Amino acid sequence: MATTTAPTSSHRAEAHQQVKHRPDRNYRRRQRWGWLFVAPFALIFLTFLVLPLVFAFRMSLFTSTLATGDRFVGFANYAKAFTDPLFLDGLLTVAKFGLIMIPAQMIVALIAALVLDNLATWASKFSRLMIFIPYAVPVVIGALMWGFLYSPRFGPASTVFALFGAEAPNFLAQDSIFGSLVNIVTWQWAGYYMIIIYAALRGIDPGIYEAAVLDGASDRQIATRIKVPMISSSLVMVVIFALIGTLQFFTEPQVLRGVAQGAIPTDYTPNMYAFSLAFSYSQFNYASAISFALGIVVFVFSFFFLFLTRKQSGLK
């Protein structure tokens, strides 16, 4: 292939110079094919992303009552949302989750990936797969399983703690539910992030380490001074994934709510609040405002983070 392409392309360059008009017109006409390739996706994009967003925004500007029907209220729903203690508490909750959960997942994923990168045994290959497996388990099933494991009725906790002569804590009580949820999310996602980081580590040219070893660098120095900086764009991507996931926290607390009687209110996170407003109280206008407000918060946070890390991520 290489032998045939090289002469053709040089030949084409000549032809290109001799008859300038025709290839140019062809070239420009060909670019329209781009739209045809993009069109099917663009249709779905408009219908299921742009349209719902516009629609939600429009809905959020109205209130609907049985007596008066739809009434335009401008930004009143937003004023209400950002002074609504239930929504603000929810935001605070997911912010707290973000502060604990994202570092927890990152630390487990990064250390596991660095350890795996240094080993090439069958045990390390096996471990890599096992650590990743929870990603293949649907979040609902993961939360259900942990609900069982936490449960004092079914779970092994009392047996395990009895081995150490201790009494098992109640994982589903009001003051321990936060940690229990952090654990579920870390279990579910750390393996996925680990694989992304691991693949990035594998992409580094090992020649770089040889130079560092010559200079007398230890494994730990190589990890912190060479490997981590070189995969910073992957790390930024993983943090963005984790950030977006955390701010829209819904499934795990929603599922665990049933098991942990009374420990998780229906307005625990903004998404749960919007869900219960819409489907328990039929307040679709206010729920849209909450959804939209949450969307804006997520968007601003991710953009802000990308801006802060623009050097590391290589995005400009």
Binding to other proteins (CB under 8 A) within 34-73 occurs at 34-38, 40-42, 44-45, 47-49, 51-53, 55-56, 59
d(CA 201, CA 186): 21
- Nearer to other proteins among residue 176 and residue 221 (C-beta): 221
- Nearer to other proteins among residue 78 and residue 250 (C-beta): 250
Q: Across-strand partners of 63?
A: 71
Residues 150-189 that bind other proteins (CB under 8 A): 153-156, 159, 187
d(CA 84, CA 274): 12
Residues 195-234 that bind other proteins (CB under 8 A): 195-196, 198-200, 202-203, 209-210, 213-214, 216-219, 231, 233-234
C-alpha 183 chain-centroid distance: 16
Residue 171 token pair: 């994982």
d(CA 316, CA 314): 6
**Could you tell me the smallest distance in angstroms from the CB atom of residue 116 to other proteins?**
7
Q: Is residue 278 involved in binding other proteins (CB under 8 A)?
A: yes
Q: Which of 250, 265, 266, 309 binds other proteins (CB under 8 A)?
A: 250
Q: Is residue 253 involved in binding other proteins (CB under 8 A)?
A: no
**Dihedral angle sign, alpha carbons of residues 150, 151, 154, 156:** positive
β-pairing verdict for 69-72 and 62-65: antiparallel
**Could you tell me the smallest distance in angstroms from the CB atom of residue 230 to other proteins?**
11
**Could you tell me the smallest distance in angstroms from the CB atom of residue 237 to other proteins?**
5
* Separation in Å, CA 164 to CA 122, 151, 160, 180: 33, 19, 7, 21
Quick note: the x/- pattern for other proteins over 113-152, rule CB under 8 A, is --xx-xx-x-xx-xx-xxxxxxxxxxxxxx-xxxxxx---
